[in-house]
């Protein structure tokens, strides 16, 4: 799904984080995200040493819920 260029509605500037700032954090992504494709979100999390899994578990620390999440 193409959301357009930098001027697309819902687009956001993504700040740089500190190296490994998401270390020891585990994320689950659900639904349609407004500003990023799911793969872009996953890549950003992994860039900063976070982990992305496909389902919620006792190790999940953060749940990212987009439109229609959980359906």
Output the 3-class SS for 2-27.
CCCCCCCCCCCCCCCCCCCCCCCCEE
Question: Is residue 71's pLDDT more than 90?
Answer: no
Question: Is residue 65's pLDDT more than 70?
Answer: yes
Range scoring the smallest mean pLDDT among 4-13, 23-32, 37-46: 4-13
In the chain the domains, ranked by start, together with CATH numbers, are 9-71 (3.40.50.10190)
Summarize the confidence of residues 53-65 as an average pLDDT: 97
Task: Categorize the per-residue pLDDT at 9 as very low, low, confident or very high, splitting at 50, 70 and 90.
Answer: low
- pLDDT score of 10: 62
- Its pTM stands at 0.79
């Amino acid at each position: 799904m193409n959301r357009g260029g930098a001027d697309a509605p819902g687009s956001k500037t993504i700040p740089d984080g500190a190296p490994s700032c998401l270390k020891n954090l585990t994320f689950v992504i659900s639904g349609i995200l407004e500003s990023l494709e799911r793969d872009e979100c996953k890549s950003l999390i992994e860039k900063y040493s976070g982990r992305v899994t496909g389902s919620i578990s006792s190790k999940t620390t953060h749940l990212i819920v987009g439109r229609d999440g959980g359906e």
